[in-house]
Amino acid sequence: MEKDFRYKVEHMGDYFVEVLAKVTCASKSSARGVILTYDIRQLTKKKEALIRDIGTRVAQISKDNPSLAQDKRINELLELLDETEKRLSAYVEERQQLLPHGRKSRSLESTTTGFPHNA
């Protein structure tokens, strides 16, 4: 009986370390998910602002010049929009991988739909 108790006490530390490692891993994954969600929301707002700026600039140009391809500012805005869309897609994909399989977040679906994509 003394040997069983001693064995259990000696290996209780091992069990504690294993459980602590599992909890730490889960909390890191959860924190990463929260950070990704904030990044996705931030990029969505940036994307909306870029689309708004592009629309404003196109309206200004269309009054003076029918050719949009020659405007440097519109080209810069379109490049920023492309870069933002790529980063947003990468974050959404990474966030989806963190979620349990078969479950999609509605907030993530709404961030990637409803916006015109640059062709």
Residue 110 pLDDT exceeds 80: no
Walk me through the domains of the chain, giving residue ranges and CATH numbers. 2-99 (1.10.287)
CA distance 105 to 112: 12
Q: What would the mean pLDDT of 26-33 be, rounded to a whole number?
A: 80
Specify the pTM: 0.52
Please tell me which residue, 109 or 96, carries the higher pLDDT value: 96
Per-residue model confidence as pLDDT tens digits over 34-93: 888 898 899 999 999 988 988 888 877 766 776 666 778 877 888 888 888 899 999 899
Spatial neighbors of 117 by CB under 8 A, at least 6 apart, are 85
CA distance 37 to 48: 17
